Amino acid sequence: MKRDNILSMIGLATKAGKAVSGEFMSEKMIKAGRAFMAIVAEDASDNTKKRFCDMCQYYQVPLYFYVDKVTLGHAMGKEFRASLAVTDAGFAKEIIKRIELQSKA
C-alpha cells in the first residue's frame, strides 16, 4: 500500500535525525530555512493548519496535509504529532514524490 511507504520514509527520516516533529520544532526549522518540506496532520486544528499554511507559504516550504495525528506520531515512534518538518533535501524529495503519486492514484 502506498500510504505505508510514505510513513516508512517518514520513519527513516526520523531515525536518521532528518525530521523534527511537534509544532515548536517544526516551526523553528521552517523559520531557520532548514526545512525542505512540512507535513501537518489532517485532523490538526484549523488554527494549526492556517498557521503552517501561512508560514510555509512565506518561507516557501512545501506543505502537505497527510493522515491523522496518531498515525503521523506512530510513524515517528512518538505518541501523536500534529506536525513535522523534514530537514534533508533527499528525504523531502522522496516523500513529496510519494505523496503526489498517491494523490494522483
Mean pLDDT (10-residue bins), the chain, 105 residues: 83 98 97 98 98 98 97 96 98 96 86
Specify the pLDDT at position 60.
Answer: 98
What's the pLDDT at 1? Answer: 46
Reported pTM: 0.95
Report whether 38 contacts 62 (CB < 8 A): yes
- CA dihedral defined by 5, 28, 45, 56, rounded to 10 degrees? -70
What is the predicted pLDDT for the residue at 103? 85
